[in-house]
Amino acid sequence: MKFFVDTADVKEIRELNDLGLLDGVTTNPSLILKSGRNIAEVTKEICDIVDGPVSAEVTATEYSEMMKEAKVLAKIADNVCIKVPLTLDGLKACKSIRTDLGRQVNVTLCFSATQALLAAKAGASFISPFIGRLDDMGFDGMELIAEIRQIYDNYDFDTEILAASIRTVDHVKRAALIGSDVATVPPATLKALVKHPLTDKGLEQFLADWAKTGQKIG
Protein backbone atom coordinates (compact mmCIF):
# COMPACT_ATOMS: atom_id res chain seq x y z
CA MET A 1 0.00 0.00 0.00
CA LYS A 2 1.15 3.51 -0.82
CA PHE A 3 1.01 6.18 1.87
CA PHE A 4 0.04 9.75 1.04
CA VAL A 5 -0.17 12.37 3.77
CA ASP A 6 -3.27 14.54 3.83
CA THR A 7 -1.99 17.99 4.76
CA ALA A 8 -0.56 21.23 3.42
CA ASP A 9 1.74 21.63 6.44
CA VAL A 10 5.21 21.73 4.92
CA LYS A 11 6.96 20.98 8.20
CA GLU A 12 4.96 17.78 8.72
CA ILE A 13 5.48 16.73 5.10
CA ARG A 14 9.23 17.25 5.28
CA GLU A 15 9.49 15.25 8.52
CA LEU A 16 7.55 12.28 7.14
CA ASN A 17 9.34 12.39 3.81
CA ASP A 18 12.70 12.29 5.59
CA LEU A 19 11.55 9.08 7.31
CA GLY A 20 11.03 7.49 3.89
CA LEU A 21 7.33 6.90 4.52
CA LEU A 22 5.72 9.07 1.87
CA ASP A 23 4.62 8.17 -1.63
CA GLY A 24 2.65 11.37 -2.20
CA VAL A 25 0.57 14.19 -0.72
CA THR A 26 -3.07 15.23 -0.95
CA THR A 27 -4.35 18.73 -0.33
CA ASN A 28 -7.75 20.39 -0.64
CA PRO A 29 -9.16 23.91 -0.20
CA SER A 30 -9.74 23.32 3.53
CA LEU A 31 -6.12 22.27 4.07
CA ILE A 32 -4.86 25.24 2.06
CA LEU A 33 -6.97 27.51 4.28
CA LYS A 34 -5.49 25.87 7.38
CA SER A 35 -1.97 26.42 6.08
CA GLY A 36 -2.64 30.16 5.73
CA ARG A 37 -0.56 30.26 2.55
CA ASN A 38 -1.00 30.93 -1.16
CA ILE A 39 -1.98 27.74 -3.00
CA ALA A 40 0.65 28.06 -5.74
CA GLU A 41 3.41 28.86 -3.27
CA VAL A 42 2.72 26.06 -0.80
CA THR A 43 2.01 23.50 -3.54
CA LYS A 44 5.34 24.29 -5.24
CA GLU A 45 7.19 23.86 -1.94
CA ILE A 46 5.48 20.53 -1.30
CA CYS A 47 6.28 19.33 -4.82
CA ASP A 48 9.94 20.18 -4.26
CA ILE A 49 9.99 17.99 -1.14
CA VAL A 50 8.06 14.95 -2.38
CA ASP A 51 8.85 13.01 -5.54
CA GLY A 52 5.40 11.41 -5.81
CA PRO A 53 2.08 12.94 -6.88
CA VAL A 54 0.86 16.02 -5.02
CA SER A 55 -2.90 16.53 -5.39
CA ALA A 56 -3.95 20.14 -5.90
CA GLU A 57 -7.69 20.73 -6.21
CA VAL A 58 -9.61 22.94 -8.61
CA THR A 59 -12.26 25.12 -6.99
CA ALA A 60 -14.43 25.77 -10.05
CA THR A 61 -17.62 23.77 -10.56
CA GLU A 62 -18.09 24.21 -14.32
CA TYR A 63 -16.04 22.34 -16.90
CA SER A 64 -14.53 25.30 -18.74
CA GLU A 65 -13.43 26.98 -15.52
CA MET A 66 -12.09 23.68 -14.15
CA MET A 67 -9.89 23.35 -17.21
CA LYS A 68 -8.58 26.90 -16.82
CA GLU A 69 -7.66 26.22 -13.19
CA ALA A 70 -6.19 22.81 -14.06
CA LYS A 71 -3.81 24.44 -16.56
CA VAL A 72 -2.68 26.92 -13.89
CA LEU A 73 -2.12 24.18 -11.30
CA ALA A 74 -0.30 21.97 -13.81
CA LYS A 75 2.30 24.69 -14.36
CA ILE A 76 3.32 24.66 -10.68
CA ALA A 77 5.36 21.44 -10.95
CA ASP A 78 5.60 18.25 -12.97
CA ASN A 79 4.32 16.09 -10.11
CA VAL A 80 1.10 18.03 -9.51
CA CYS A 81 -1.91 15.72 -9.70
CA ILE A 82 -5.07 17.64 -10.54
CA LYS A 83 -7.93 16.98 -8.13
CA VAL A 84 -11.52 17.34 -9.37
CA PRO A 85 -14.90 16.69 -7.70
CA LEU A 86 -17.06 13.73 -8.62
CA THR A 87 -19.64 15.61 -10.68
CA LEU A 88 -20.49 15.37 -14.37
CA ASP A 89 -18.38 18.44 -15.08
CA GLY A 90 -15.62 17.00 -12.93
CA LEU A 91 -15.66 13.72 -14.87
CA LYS A 92 -15.56 15.59 -18.18
CA ALA A 93 -12.61 17.61 -16.89
CA CYS A 94 -10.93 14.42 -15.70
CA LYS A 95 -10.97 12.96 -19.19
CA SER A 96 -9.70 16.19 -20.75
CA ILE A 97 -6.93 16.66 -18.20
CA ARG A 98 -5.72 13.14 -18.83
CA THR A 99 -5.82 13.36 -22.62
CA ASP A 100 -5.06 17.03 -23.28
CA LEU A 101 -2.75 17.91 -20.38
CA GLY A 102 -1.29 14.45 -19.81
CA ARG A 103 -1.61 14.85 -16.05
CA GLN A 104 -2.71 12.47 -13.33
CA VAL A 105 -6.18 13.16 -11.94
CA ASN A 106 -7.54 12.47 -8.47
CA VAL A 107 -11.34 12.33 -8.49
CA THR A 108 -12.50 13.24 -5.01
CA LEU A 109 -15.64 13.21 -2.85
CA CYS A 110 -16.65 9.68 -3.83
CA PHE A 111 -19.40 8.12 -1.75
CA SER A 112 -20.73 5.28 -3.93
CA ALA A 113 -19.43 2.43 -6.04
CA THR A 114 -21.28 3.68 -9.12
CA GLN A 115 -19.54 7.03 -8.79
CA ALA A 116 -16.23 5.19 -8.65
CA LEU A 117 -17.16 3.23 -11.78
CA LEU A 118 -17.81 6.47 -13.68
CA ALA A 119 -14.49 7.92 -12.50
CA ALA A 120 -12.61 4.89 -13.80
CA LYS A 121 -14.42 5.16 -17.12
CA ALA A 122 -13.32 8.81 -17.29
CA GLY A 123 -9.70 7.73 -16.87
CA ALA A 124 -9.11 8.82 -13.27
CA SER A 125 -5.65 8.05 -11.94
CA PHE A 126 -7.03 7.91 -8.39
CA ILE A 127 -10.51 7.65 -6.90
CA SER A 128 -10.93 9.04 -3.39
CA PRO A 129 -13.75 7.37 -1.41
CA PHE A 130 -14.33 9.19 1.89
CA ILE A 131 -14.40 6.53 4.61
CA GLY A 132 -14.72 8.71 7.71
CA ARG A 133 -17.58 10.81 6.39
CA LEU A 134 -19.58 7.68 5.57
CA ASP A 135 -18.88 6.33 9.07
CA ASP A 136 -20.15 9.64 10.49
CA MET A 137 -23.49 9.00 8.77
CA GLY A 138 -23.82 5.52 10.23
CA PHE A 139 -22.50 3.60 7.22
CA ASP A 140 -19.42 1.38 7.06
CA GLY A 141 -17.00 3.21 4.80
CA MET A 142 -15.00 0.02 4.33
CA GLU A 143 -17.88 -1.60 2.49
CA LEU A 144 -17.46 1.05 -0.18
CA ILE A 145 -13.76 0.28 -0.49
CA ALA A 146 -14.57 -3.42 -0.91
CA GLU A 147 -17.23 -2.71 -3.56
CA ILE A 148 -14.91 -0.49 -5.57
CA ARG A 149 -12.10 -3.07 -5.32
CA GLN A 150 -14.37 -5.78 -6.72
CA ILE A 151 -15.66 -3.61 -9.58
CA TYR A 152 -12.19 -2.43 -10.57
CA ASP A 153 -10.85 -5.98 -10.48
CA ASN A 154 -13.81 -7.23 -12.54
CA TYR A 155 -12.86 -4.93 -15.42
CA ASP A 156 -9.11 -4.48 -14.89
CA PHE A 157 -9.41 -0.72 -14.42
CA ASP A 158 -6.08 1.03 -13.85
CA THR A 159 -7.59 3.63 -11.50
CA GLU A 160 -6.04 3.34 -8.04
CA ILE A 161 -8.27 3.32 -4.96
CA LEU A 162 -7.11 6.09 -2.63
CA ALA A 163 -8.80 5.61 0.75
CA ALA A 164 -9.51 9.11 2.08
CA SER A 165 -11.09 10.73 5.12
CA ILE A 166 -9.17 8.26 7.26
CA ARG A 167 -9.54 8.86 10.98
CA THR A 168 -7.94 5.87 12.73
CA VAL A 169 -5.18 3.28 12.54
CA ASP A 170 -7.89 0.64 12.13
CA HIS A 171 -9.13 2.44 9.02
CA VAL A 172 -5.66 2.03 7.50
CA LYS A 173 -5.44 -1.65 8.45
CA ARG A 174 -8.86 -2.51 7.08
CA ALA A 175 -8.26 -0.58 3.87
CA ALA A 176 -5.00 -2.50 3.38
CA LEU A 177 -6.72 -5.84 4.03
CA ILE A 178 -9.37 -5.06 1.43
CA GLY A 179 -6.75 -4.04 -1.10
CA SER A 180 -6.89 -0.27 -1.32
CA ASP A 181 -3.94 0.88 -3.41
CA VAL A 182 -3.32 4.04 -1.42
CA ALA A 183 -4.27 5.52 1.95
CA THR A 184 -4.09 9.26 2.42
CA VAL A 185 -3.65 9.85 6.12
CA PRO A 186 -3.36 12.83 8.48
CA PRO A 187 0.19 13.18 9.86
CA ALA A 188 -0.76 12.15 13.41
CA THR A 189 -2.50 8.98 12.22
CA LEU A 190 0.40 8.05 9.95
CA LYS A 191 2.83 8.38 12.86
CA ALA A 192 0.50 6.35 15.09
CA LEU A 193 0.80 3.33 12.79
CA VAL A 194 4.18 2.50 14.35
CA LYS A 195 2.92 2.51 17.92
CA HIS A 196 2.16 -0.56 20.04
CA PRO A 197 2.46 -0.86 23.85
CA LEU A 198 4.28 -4.19 23.62
CA THR A 199 6.91 -2.64 21.34
CA ASP A 200 7.54 0.08 23.93
CA LYS A 201 7.63 -2.45 26.75
CA GLY A 202 9.97 -4.78 24.88
CA LEU A 203 12.36 -1.96 23.98
CA GLU A 204 12.40 -0.76 27.58
CA GLN A 205 13.35 -4.28 28.75
CA PHE A 206 16.05 -4.69 26.10
CA LEU A 207 17.63 -1.36 27.04
CA ALA A 208 17.52 -2.15 30.75
CA ASP A 209 19.20 -5.52 30.19
CA TRP A 210 21.80 -4.00 27.89
CA ALA A 211 22.70 -1.38 30.50
CA LYS A 212 23.40 -4.20 32.96
CA THR A 213 26.03 -5.70 30.62
CA GLY A 214 28.12 -2.53 30.85
CA GLN A 215 28.94 -2.84 27.17
CA LYS A 216 28.98 -0.35 24.30
CA ILE A 217 28.74 -0.91 20.57
CA GLY A 218 31.49 0.91 18.76
Q: What CA–CA distance (Å, rounded) separates 18 from 168?
A: 23
Q: Which of 83, 95, 173, 212 is catalytic?
A: 83
Q: What CA–CA distance (Å, rounded) separates 93 from 70?
A: 9
Evaluate whether 58 touches 29 at the Cβ level (below 8 Å): no
Cα torsion 102, 104, 25, 193 to 10°: value is -150
> Can 2 be counted among the known catalytic residues?
no
Angle, CA of 29, 16 and 131, to the nearest 5°? 50
Q: What CA–CA distance (Å, rounded) separates 151 from 52?
A: 26
Catalytic residues: 83
